[in-house]
A and B are shown apart, each in its own frame.
Chain A
Amino acid sequence: MKEELLKRMVKGPDGVEFEVEPLRDYYCEAGPTVQTPAYTAIIEKLFNWARSESIWILGFGTGCGAIEMRPLMTPRFDAYRYGIQWRPTPRQANLFVISGYLSTKTLKRVIRSYEQMQSPKYVVGLGSCTINGGMYWDSYNTIKRLDDYLPVDLYIAGCMPRPEALLAGFEDLKKLIRAGKAEGANQYAENFEWYKANQKSVIHDWDMPDYNW
């Protein structure tokens, strides 16, 4: 574990010493809970429609596929007209596009970013690498199955998928959201122990709290 995460005494600018325990002090200690639809069916439907028509993607290019996000957000394909925008902070994003392979080092950051997103949140896996390891199936540093570590709503085939395929994927995602079937966040909360065990089995220096929200 990194030194700055250990429990220790520090001296403030004013000269007063105090104890900090970063993992307890800075982070939440409550586990995730299942968030059932809070409203009557018709309102939930309206919200689902709004969620489907306003998809904010987290601007985190985890792998190769990120390069096709740029054409997507620019004149040629202009995803904005479909209600798709990007957000630089996970707090405001609803959709996490895992753009291909994940090294264990990135996986750690991806988990943190994912957990900081607000429910309902969605994950789309791009390309072979997220499905079954892709061309890095024998690499010591990349995971093979994304759904072992995060709940995934959709996969788009390709290496890497073109912007058109991404748009097709987003259209499908919208249908899922509207049908109320994109409940990955709840799935994550329900099987939290299982996901954590999987994550910890591949991230060898687990120096972060279990709850990152």
Chain B
Amino acid sequence: MVMQALYDTLKPRFLLGEFTKQRDDLAFITVEAVRLHALLRHLRDQEGFTHLVLLTAVDWLEDGQFQLTYLLNNRAKRQDVGLRVLIARDNATMESIHDLWAAAATYQRELREMFGIDFPDSPRLHEDFILEGWQDIPPYRRDFDTLKYAQENYRDRPGRETRDPAQHMKQQLYGED
């Protein structure tokens, strides 16, 4: 209920999108990318959401979009709010928030490496973070096939084979294939 009230107050000012109540203490709100920074600042400074819990991305490949999720926590009121920002998947770029939370720079480094999302001006953004000498498309994107990559790059130990029970039975019992 409290979350709903917060949403209703902020909605006209920040033109908020869809509101999803997940639990009493957790709700997700869709926000336009251009309004995010102001909203985050407002939530941090005015509403007590001082703790950036995490920043991550979801690849909606079918829709051609990345969803960035900024999860904030208000410890005093025991509430969490997740801000969903949908940005275009091609040449994905987003405003950096390292000026609001120093720790965000690390998240943004990871997102650049794992999803290929650019955060201009974020510190040390283009240094290798987790990977080293990665040449393929960013691995957390949905169109990257990890199994295929593993099979092409790392040899399996030979000698493995398996049979499908149904096929094997047909063959054994009826001589069919």
- Which of A119-127, A140-148, A165-173 interfaces with chain B? A140-148
For A143, what are the chain B residues with a Cβ–Cβ distance below 8 Å? Answer: 154
The answer, yes or no, to whether A151 is at the interface (CB within 8 Å) is no
Whether A144 pairs with B155 at a CB distance below 8 angstroms is: yes
Q: What's the interface size class on B, roughly?
A: 10 to 19
Contact partner of A140 among B132, B139, B155, CB < 8 A?
B139
The reply to whether A138 and B150 contact each other, CB–CB distance below 8 Å, is yes
Partner of A204, one of B133, B144, B146, B150: B133
Using Cβ atoms and an 8 Å threshold, which residues of chain A touch B153? 140, 201-202
Q: Are B135 and A144 in contact (CB under 8 A)?
A: no
| Cβ-defined contact, A139 with B150, below 8 A | yes
Q: Contact size class for A?
A: 20 to 34
Majority secondary structure, B binding face:
loop
Instruction: Looking at the assembled complex, report how far the CB atom of A184 sits from the nearest CB atom of chain B, in whole angstroms.
Output: 18
B60 at the binding interface (Cβ < 8 Å)? no
Indicate if the CB atoms of B139 and A132 lie closer than 8 Å: no
- Assess the B149–A140 pair: CB atoms within 8 A: yes
Q: Specify which chain B residues have a CB less than 8 angstroms from the CB of A131 in the assembled complex.
A: 157
A132 to B157 Cα, complex, angstroms = 6
Q: Which residues of B contact A (CB under 8 A)?
A: 131-136, 139, 144, 146-147, 149-150, 153-157
Residues of chain A having any CB pair with chain B under 8 Å: 104-105, 108, 131-133, 137-145, 148, 201-205
